[in-house]
Amino acid sequence: MNTIGVIGIVAGIFTSTSLLPQLIKILKEKKVEGLSMTMFLSLLIGIILWVVYGILRDDWPIIVTNSFSVVLNLFILVLKFKYRRAS
């Protein structure tokens, strides 16, 4: 693997795991106050488009890391609906 590929994988890992602290906080506190639905929906659409872009380019680092981000984003959105009433 060349340097460009390594940079792409490392960048993807950092961006896709950036939502983990927020997800862990939500799971611990069971609170979603202050989370912007508009921001998460916008982010989700952008990440889905990155997955599509990766598929069209047959670029596995983009596909895999952004697919992981999609899953995390969807999980956070589900928790937003679940804990919204409890907040």
What's the token pair of residue 48?
Answer: 């889905």
Regions of the chain short of the pLDDT cut 50: 87
Rg of the chain over CA atoms, in angstroms? Answer: 15
The model carries a pTM of: 0.85
Query: What pLDDT score does 49 carry?
Result: 97
What's the token pair of residue 37?
Answer: 């639905």
Query: What pLDDT score does 66 carry?
Result: 94
Q: Which of 17, 16, 36 is nearest to 80 (CA)?
A: 36
Query: What pLDDT score does 27 carry?
Result: 93
Query: What pLDDT score does 68 carry?
Result: 94
Query: What pLDDT score does 87 carry?
Result: 46
Query: What pLDDT score does 8 carry?
Result: 86
Query: What pLDDT score does 50 carry?
Result: 95
List, in order of start, the domains of the chain with CATH numbers. Answer: 3-84 (1.20.1280.290)
